[in-house]
Amino acid sequence: MASLERSKAAINSFRRIVSELKKAKGSLSRDSPEFRFIMDQMRNHRVTQKMNCKSPNEMEHLADTYATYLNSTRFLAELQERYRGGERSVSESANLVGLQLPKEACESETMEKFKATYSKPKDT
């Protein structure tokens, strides 16, 4: 029974890794070097587990850790792209926080009124 649970955990971890690699690369065929390497590691572990006295869950733990690493790396790249640094225009910055800038026509009218009011010389 424990062996069956371990193999289910290994299959789940394998699927997570393949899923993350597909998201990272766009596609992943069975002939790709990455896929073959993962398959070889999962298959070879069945033999080395008994020969080298490794922990029964070591491969599942490593596979799960690697799947989490791939997921976190992809998520980090998405966050960095979304909140990338650098110069943004005022309108982009306003849109980022959910604000809208006034129309250009309103700004020019207001500026003209301001100039007309305050640029006149005072009579003293």
- pLDDT tens profile 20-67: 888 888 888 888 888 888 888 877 766 444 555 466 677 788 888 989
Considering Cα of 23, then 29, then 32, then 37, what sign does the dihedral take? positive
Q: Where are the domains of the chain?
A: 2-82
Q: What is the spatial distance between Cα 107 and Cα 21, in angstroms, rounded to a whole number?
A: 50
Q: What is the spatial distance between Cα 82 and Cα 95, in angstroms, rounded to a whole number?
A: 13
Record the pTM.
0.50
Q: Percentage helix, strand, coil, to 5, in the chain? A: 75, 0, 25
